[in-house]
Amino acid sequence: MLIALNKPYGVLCQFTDADGRRTLADFIRQKDVYAAGRLDQDSEGLLLLTDDGRLAHQLTDPGHKQPKTYLVQVEGEIDKAALEALRRGVLLNDGPTLPTVAQAATEPDWLWPRDPPVRFRKSIPTSWLSISLREGRNRQVRRMTAAVGFPTLRLIRVQVGEHALDGLAPGESRQIR
């Protein structure tokens, strides 16, 4: 079984929390499924859940090279030099990243408002980009955009391998056949 969930902002990628924060249990009623990969509490978008350990491994193990694609809002107007640096790979404190597919994007018309909203500053513009990568280090996209001088304000995973968000609203899920 494979379930696609549009994980809302502020939700933990686990089913229980001793501190009473929102978890996957608030959205997924199916028993005995587990997240295939993770999204930070402050990230949104596609999260795949399965009851099949082998499938979870295929989806998450970097050796299987499943691309993960993110829509990223950054602080500042992204420039060609930063995009090229992201494409080549950047040096992080835990070593260099693999090359990525990175390109400027526009805010999509299907995008839902975030609750709470992203901070707004009149004097500092924001821009959007699309990043696809084949590794999955802790907070990697955020660290990469910061390393090239453009801190991430909003991060939405839109695709994992062949599985895409495809119109799921925040908190909605669907079973994938």
List, by residue number, the catalytic residues.
Answer: 40
CB atoms within 10 A of CB 113: 8
77-82: long-range contacts at Cβ-Cβ below 8 A with a sequence spacing of 24 or more? 77/125, 77/127, 78/104, 78/127, 78/129, 78/150, 81/148, 82/148, 82/149, 82/150
Residues 6+ apart with CB under 8 A from 176: 2, 3, 4, 48, 163
The answer for 161, left when phi > 0, alpha when psi is -120 to 50, beta otherwise, is left
Q: What are the residues facing 68 on neighbouring strands?
A: 133, 160
**Distance set, CA 52 to CA 18, 47, 48, 142 (Å):** 26, 15, 11, 29
